[in-house]
Chains A and B, each alone.
Chain A
């Protein structure tokens, strides 16, 4: 089923709803009549529009994560730098969601695959980049919270004791 069968047109819908003789009860916005009639009439025009819509939608999906970045930034700003359960939960969710999304790029774009939309590769790339951006933001947040072991001090306890080359006798000196 393609999107072209769905159209909410108030004039048509009201008319169709009033006609009791319709063969089937169609949900609002679904028009058999329109399809049969208009398909032929607006065939070329609708396929153009559908293609346009498909592309738009694909771009919407692809841009989704990128668009959520400012909102996420604001949220993270509001969460503060203190290490307590809520900020940590928020940051974890923020990290986890895009990571999950990164592993399901193909399945996200599956419903949008159509010959009319053409190659979805740029979309996927943008989607990927957006998610990466969110991950980066989350990691930055973790960094500002001081949870990222990126300082020398974080690895200090793993520095082994230096082995001594020479030995000195340090016992008491007697008179």
Chain B
């Protein structure tokens, strides 16, 4: 039996990758997340940015290339955003980072990211934003209303001091120890505390203020600067005890933001139109005012103590000399893209002639700009699309037909009966193709010549710039965006919760286009608690005479928006607003122009369709049903859509059992495009168990809390009939569910076994097929369904689950599971099969293909789709069919992006990668030539024999 298992394992594992195939079909992009705090580290050979991000990551980026030097991924916070972003502070060798909203403090070596030590501060999130500051040997952490000093050597706790309840804290080190300041909005108080290096409190003072707004305070040097009651206040926390007082100055304009600058005791305030810099010590005198509007402002002090100020507005950058009031750069364009997201942060790297800047956009895009102040030119050196770490939804789209493919399509589209005419048509189209070929090659030659000319005439800096620009532009070797032979090349369209839409090329992950919608947008919250910015494909690229169209749905200020786009170039086609949309979907049929119309249903069950349906389409439309799960009372309702009146009529309703103490973990239907090739399962006695493939079947997973159990209900959404219900006792989160063909796979944590298990539930009609030609849900089942169920032990945790998809659905399915330690594991359906026999009978052995039941799912490293390319914090896995039946395309997103191809049944329809074409050609040619030569020789010999 063991040998059988081994053989079966070998047969399945044969899809593993060879060493030389590494990186051939797959790519990985590593990200750090949306930067919230950036520091420049210029010690050592390589200049670096040290960043901490909203995704709980501390990383070091190379300033020259933007590559990650080291990256420390900390706890996965799942789908939710962190309450407070990660903060860090560093001295010359060590960084002290405070992750998970103040729960954990960790120390890292600055150069190589080596782990120094850690200390758990609390199990709950800190109520206020945590703060961290460092001295040469101590790291002071303010979190959970406590001040904790840690040794930078080993993260051991030196001392701890309780603080007053506050919602904003800050601290700085001074000769005698630390000065800690905090504020509480509800009490309108500010408190100051001095603690010496031994942890003894030397000063404790509480000051009453008129009002305190934690959003509009900044901490600079020894001063707390805040704005409230149309007054700017400053508090010197280092001034001696009894003299501590708040200085105030009224300002004419409303201050939107106050922020600290690098040089001490200066503060910047942003008013409606301008940014001003105030000297706190000299009675808030205006030191400098930015002459123009700015999205982000930053200050830099060079080695000589000269102060500079830089600002970004759109794609323009300015740099000023503060003391001399001189402008070094004025509105220099650093990026050709006009529709950039506004900058949210600017970091100046400094320099003498060439200045370095880091511009962080509201969509988390991070650009490194190099500006030459002598020639007043700026260039974008590298870009990191950190917005891709927060993907709200992904679709894989076919690329448009290539010119020649489209030409073929047009040729066959013409319906001509006359042979002569069609012959002429053929000749003309061939001539046309030839003409296009010549035109294309002429274009290429011209471009090359122009480039050469530019190279000769331009200065060196121009050349450098052009090289930089072209390096950014070139992706996929300049191949046009066209469909390839096996339709393996696709466009990955992804929406980011950061407010952008991206299109990536699936060959190398290069950004084809990006479109910024706005950082103020929100996604739609699903009933399962996920945030999505749905993408719906209205028309694929299959029609050469129509452009493809997608629709992206998002919310802004609570109002839903529908953005209609051409996915190939990202151009907007149309825009609509919808109110209170509970559901945004595509109608399952097309109108005359091959377009699936968008249907939205709002809270009052009002239906809107974009664009309006034609009367003809309404007449021909098949019956369309909807179902709705009420998140409040757990009522499931079925509706029928009436397209003539745009109304929903209720057809059925029932109550989900145990709703009160349950949460919905999954509502899974089956997409209309899903194909099931085989209608049954062959058993050992060669009889057939027919599958119950109900396209209208919905699976709902409910997790009960008080008596932990998982309830799975399968119901027909047309009739409301509950087809099957399963109850798994002693099951808790995380639960993942996949619904496909006639089966539902679900992963859960069992309290009883204290382990992760994967269960599978498969529905069969029995040995006679009831729904042969058509599937009508209204037709009652003649016999009770045959339900097979099994569960398997999965020895790892699970963070995401998906199923492969192929064009015809004939290949085996595989369940893709992402593991928390960063791997993507492929579980073949042959393993995860409820019909696996308990014991192999001789007949089964003879028939072959049966794997006896084993409680564990073996985890073989060969079946890790991403071999050693670990991916962290996986949010989801998207699969799509390719033109090859064997191949399913897999895109994994989270903190990292990973793309590969999965072949669950092996690569049966293409030649092996190492197939030796050359050898075969040589052998064939040699055979042909050999036989010809031999024939000739044989003839000669026969002739000679005859003469002899």
CA of A167 to CA of B589, assembled, Å: 9
A161 at the interface (CB under 8 A from B): yes
B771 at the interface (CB under 8 A from A): yes
A162: B residues at CB distance < 8 A: 679, 693, 771-775
Q: Mark A131-175, 1 if CB is under 8 A from B, else 0.
A: 000000000000000100001111011011111111111111111
B785 at the interface (CB under 8 A from A): no
B84: A residues at CB distance < 8 A: none
Name the distance in Å between A173's Cβ and chain B's nearest Cβ.
Answer: 5
B669: A residues at CB distance < 8 A: 168, 170
CA of A67 to CA of B460, assembled, Å: 99
A156 and B688 in contact, given A162-B771, A165-B775, A168-B718 (Cβ under 8 angstroms): yes
A171 and B622 in contact, given A162-B775, A165-B777 (Cβ under 8 angstroms): no
B846 at the interface (CB under 8 A from A): yes
A12 at the interface (CB under 8 A from B): no
CA of A157 to CA of B678, assembled, Å: 6
Name the distance in Å between B528's Cβ and chain A's nearest Cβ.
Answer: 8
Considering only CB atoms, which chain B residue lies closest to A152 in the complex? B688
Cross-chain contact of A156 among B589, B628, B682, B696 (Cβ < 8 A)? B682
Complex contact A174–B526 (CB within 8 A):
yes
Complex contact B688–A168 (CB within 8 A):
no
B629 at the interface (CB under 8 A from A): yes
A81 at the interface (CB under 8 A from B): yes
CA of A48 to CA of B634, assembled, Å: 102
A159: B residues at CB distance < 8 A: 679-680, 769, 772
B71 at the interface (CB under 8 A from A): no
CA of A170 to CA of B628, assembled, Å: 10
A171 and B585 in contact, given A166-B696, A166-B777 (Cβ under 8 angstroms): yes
B584: A residues at CB distance < 8 A: 171, 174
Name the distance in Å between B458's Cβ and chain A's nearest Cβ.
Answer: 53
Cross-chain contact of B526 among A151, A157, A175 (Cβ < 8 A)? A175
Complex contact B526–A172 (CB within 8 A):
yes
B784 at the interface (CB under 8 A from A): no
B631, B695, B773: residue with the most chain A Cβ atoms closer than 10 Å: B695
A151: B residues at CB distance < 8 A: 686-688
A164 and B775 in contact, given A156-B680, A159-B680, A172-B524 (Cβ under 8 angstroms): yes
Total contacting residues, chain B, CB less than 8 A: 60
CA of A173 to CA of B668, assembled, Å: 10
Complex contact A172–B532 (CB within 8 A):
yes
Complex contact B777–A161 (CB within 8 A):
no
CA of A120 to CA of B668, assembled, Å: 75
B629, B669, B670: residue with the most chain A Cβ atoms closer than 10 Å: B669
A163 and B773 in contact, given A173-B582, A174-B524 (Cβ under 8 angstroms): yes
B642: A residues at CB distance < 8 A: none
A156, A159, A160, A169: residue with the most chain B Cβ atoms closer than 10 Å: A169
Cross-chain contact of B687 among A152, A167, A168 (Cβ < 8 A)? A152
B776 at the interface (CB under 8 A from A): yes
A166 and B527 in contact, given A153-B682, A153-B688 (Cβ under 8 angstroms): no
Complex contact B588–A167 (CB within 8 A):
yes
CA of A152 to CA of B527, assembled, Å: 43
Complex contact A168–B773 (CB within 8 A):
no
Tell me the chain A residues, 36-87 only, with Cβ under 8 Å from chain B: 81
Considering only CB atoms, which chain B residue lies closest to A159 in the complex? B679
Cross-chain contact of A175 among B625, B631, B668 (Cβ < 8 A)? B631
A169 and B680 in contact, given A153-B688, A163-B773 (Cβ under 8 angstroms): no
A154, A160, A165: residue with the most chain B Cβ atoms closer than 10 Å: A165
A161: B residues at CB distance < 8 A: 675-677, 679, 693
A164: B residues at CB distance < 8 A: 695-696, 774-775
A166 and B718 in contact, given A153-B688, A173-B667 (Cβ under 8 angstroms): yes
A153 and B687 in contact, given A162-B772, A173-B526, A173-B629 (Cβ under 8 angstroms): yes
B624 at the interface (CB under 8 A from A): yes
CA of A163 to CA of B672, assembled, Å: 11
B530: A residues at CB distance < 8 A: 172
A168 and B698 in contact, given A161-B675, A173-B628 (Cβ under 8 angstroms): yes
Complex contact A168–B680 (CB within 8 A):
no
B774: A residues at CB distance < 8 A: 162-165
CA of A171 to CA of B583, assembled, Å: 7
Complex contact A171–B534 (CB within 8 A):
yes
CA of A154 to CA of B847, assembled, Å: 13
Complex contact A166–B625 (CB within 8 A):
yes
Q: Mark B613-632, 1 if CB is under 8 A from A, else 0.
A: 00000000011111111010
A146: B residues at CB distance < 8 A: 686, 847
A170: B residues at CB distance < 8 A: 585, 668-672, 698, 717
B677: A residues at CB distance < 8 A: 157, 161
CA of A166 to CA of B640, assembled, Å: 10
B599 at the interface (CB under 8 A from A): yes
Considering only CB atoms, which chain B residue lies closest to A167 in the complex? B588
A156: B residues at CB distance < 8 A: 678-680, 682, 688
B687: A residues at CB distance < 8 A: 151-153
B627: A residues at CB distance < 8 A: 168
Considering only CB atoms, which chain B residue lies closest to A174 in the complex? B524
Complex contact B682–A167 (CB within 8 A):
no
Tell me the chain B residues, 656-689 only, with Cβ under 8 Å from chain A: 667-672, 675-680, 682-683, 686-688
B581 at the interface (CB under 8 A from A): yes
B525 at the interface (CB under 8 A from A): yes
CA of A162 to CA of B627, assembled, Å: 22
CA of A173 to CA of B534, assembled, Å: 11
CA of A162 to CA of B585, assembled, Å: 24
Complex contact A168–B625 (CB within 8 A):
yes
Complex contact B628–A166 (CB within 8 A):
no
CA of A175 to CA of B771, assembled, Å: 36
Name the distance in Å between B63's Cβ and chain A's nearest Cβ.
Answer: 42
A167 and B624 in contact, given A172-B532, A175-B525 (Cβ under 8 angstroms): yes
Name the distance in Å between A164's Cβ and chain B's nearest Cβ.
Answer: 5
A163: B residues at CB distance < 8 A: 773-775
Complex contact A169–B585 (CB within 8 A):
yes
Name the distance in Å between A170's Cβ and chain B's nearest Cβ.
Answer: 3
Name the distance in Å between B843's Cβ and chain A's nearest Cβ.
Answer: 10
B693: A residues at CB distance < 8 A: 161-162
CA of A167 to CA of B622, assembled, Å: 7
CA of A173 to CA of B599, assembled, Å: 13
Considering only CB atoms, which chain B residue lies closest to A161 in the complex? B676
Complex contact A165–B623 (CB within 8 A):
yes
A152, A165, A173: residue with the most chain B Cβ atoms closer than 10 Å: A173
A153 and B680 in contact, given A162-B773, A168-B698 (Cβ under 8 angstroms): yes
CA of A168 to CA of B698, assembled, Å: 9
B622: A residues at CB distance < 8 A: 165-167
Considering only CB atoms, which chain B residue lies closest to A162 in the complex? B775
B585: A residues at CB distance < 8 A: 169-171
Name the distance in Å between A113's Cβ and chain B's nearest Cβ.
Answer: 46
Considering only CB atoms, which chain B residue lies closest to A83 in the complex? B846
Considering only CB atoms, which chain A residue lies closest to B526 in the complex? A172
Complex contact A174–B695 (CB within 8 A):
no
Considering only CB atoms, which chain A residue lies closest to B582 in the complex? A174
Considering only CB atoms, which chain A residue lies closest to B631 in the complex? A175
Name the distance in Å between A38's Cβ and chain B's nearest Cβ.
Answer: 55
- The 6 A-B pairs with the shortest beta carbon distances in the complex, nearest first, are A170-B669, A171-B585, A167-B588, A153-B682, A162-B775, A151-B686
Beyond A153-B682, A169-B625, A171-B585: 20 further Cβ-contacts under 8 Å?
Answer: A151-B688, A156-B682, A161-B693, A162-B772, A165-B622, A165-B623, A166-B622, A166-B623, A166-B696, A166-B718, A166-B777, A166-B778, A167-B589, A167-B672, A168-B718, A169-B586, A169-B588, A173-B527, A173-B631, A175-B527
30 sampled A-B residue pairs with Cβ under 8 A = A153-B686, A153-B687, A154-B686, A159-B680, A160-B773, A161-B675, A161-B676, A161-B677, A162-B771, A163-B773, A164-B696, A164-B774, A165-B623, A165-B776, A166-B776, A167-B623, A167-B696, A168-B626, A168-B717, A169-B625, A170-B669, A170-B698, A170-B717, A171-B584, A171-B585, A172-B534, A172-B667, A173-B629, A174-B524, A174-B584
